[in-house]
Structure 1
Amino acid sequence: MRMEFINGVKLYDNPLFLFISFVIIIYLQLAKLKKKLNLPPSPPRLPIIGNFHQLGRLPHRSLRDLAAKHGSLLLLQQGHNPTLVVSSAEMAEKVIKSHDVAFSNRAKTTAANILLYGCTDLAFSPYGEYWRQVRKLSVLELFSHKRVESFQFVRDEEVELAVNKIRNASINGQPINLTKMVFSVSNNIVSRCALGRKFEEEDGDGDDGKFLELTKRVIVVLTSFSFGDAFPYLRWMDYLTGFIPNLKATYAELDELMDQIIEEGKVNPKNDLLSVLLQLRSKRKGRLRWNSLKTTSKQFYWSVIKLFQLK
């Protein structure tokens, strides 16, 4: 008996039927391959989106609940990306110490690739010779114990200013925005240590206000959802939603502003990380090419300064 539709068209000649059959065959082959691998437990997932629907508005709580149900090692499928979730100190120690090379690379997201000069910063650059050289430079020259201790006065001054603001506000019966204050203290400490100046939000629409506005935008876009990261075949959607144009515009403004700050650092060198990098640049011109450097305050903002890149 021939396989036919009601209208008389042969089923195996229909492009839609052939496409669906191809997808089913690929899915079954992948399912067989996964069965052969000794993978961690995984909650039930939906086609295409995987486990996205199980993360919810508070992912840290959702992950806690999933770990309580499925164990401290959990495999989630976030669209196209398989993600291993480690929820216990013992397992984290094994991952970091015993299998550190296997887990040393971070995913190169669309935002990080555009904003961080092709992921050439310390956090996102792949493990290898370049990463080791940048890490060595950071450990010995930028974040050594001696260097960190030299900025103790900066931390003391900023904390003292914050305490005085809280005291004065309490005396006058004024409300205090602790979230804004903590952000401001951390921002001032990092910017004074890295760039030799602090950027006060109260200063208005000048370079200071622009820098803070840009760093906030960087935080937002770095953590924003990208269709291309989750579903590579939908990368074109990032252009339709304006995500890619917004990234490029933010990058251009931030890069221009940082060039101005670097030129100021050349004219008026200070006891900050930027001045250290400028000195290293002049000493090592024969071996290193000056390109860009990103330093990170993980909890509050991503400030960008020029980075050493190997030839």
Structure 2
Amino acid sequence: MEELPPLLLTFLAVVLAAVILRRTLNASRRAYNLPPGPRPWPVIGNFNLIGALPHRSIHKLSNKYGELMHLRFGSRSVVIGSSADMARLFLRTHDLLFLDRPRTAAGKHTTYNYADITWSPYEAYWRHAQSSDDQDRSII
């Protein structure tokens, strides 16, 4: 039996590795059902669409894409509701889904590792701190 040339073996190994890598990366990504929005640029996202008056820029985008839209600001995904009905949906109906803040260095270093009520995640500690804060205000 004749041996394959080393260059052909190397080429087949690279192609096989690329196929396996692509399948594992595609399988590990979550597929979210996001609302419509403008196509983002690679690094800046949709920052180029926001002008000096952001509320007017978002209003123009909502006229085109609807009252619920998806934008990317840098590497962050943002879902924007631009009507009273969407605000009610975010703030009343699905408030527990949108309650937590992203963990950033600012929250870690300024509030002693997210120990303050403004940066702590919504859990038992947050509810306890919130209720004790309300009691402190009633004393004054």
Q: What's the % identity of the aligned pairs?
A: 34
The match for 1:92 is 87
**1:140 paired residue among 127, 132, 135:** 135
The match for 1:212 is none
Equivalence map 1:67-86=2 (5 Å): 67-86=62-81
CA distance in 1, matches of 2:125, 2:49: 38
Displacement of 1:33: 5.2
Q: Secondary structure at the match of 2:72?
A: strand
| Offset from partner CA, 1:268-298 (integer Å, 9 cap, x none) | xxxxxxxxxxxxxxxxxxxxxxxxxxxxxxx
Displacement of 1:119: 2.1
Structure 1 unmatched runs, 5+: 5-9, 148-311
Q: Counterpart amino acid of 1:29?
A: N
CA distance in 1, matches of 2:16, 2:79: 34
Q: Work out whether 1:39 is the aligned partner of 2:24.
A: no
Aligned residues, how many?
Answer: 129
Distance 1:12-1:116 versus aligned 2 partners, 3 A rule: farther
Equivalence map 1:175-194=2 (5 Å): none
The match for 2:120 is 125
Q: Secondary structure at the match of 2:71?
A: strand
Displacement of 1:57: 4.1
Displacement of 1:85: 1.1
Distance 1:88-1:113 versus aligned 2 partners, 3 A rule: same
More helix by share: 1
TM (normalized to structure 1)? Answer: 0.35
The match for 2:101 is 106
Displacement of 1:138: 1.1
The match for 1:29 is 26
The match for 1:299 is none
Distance 1:72-1:11 versus aligned 2 partners, 3 A rule: same
The match for 2:4 is none
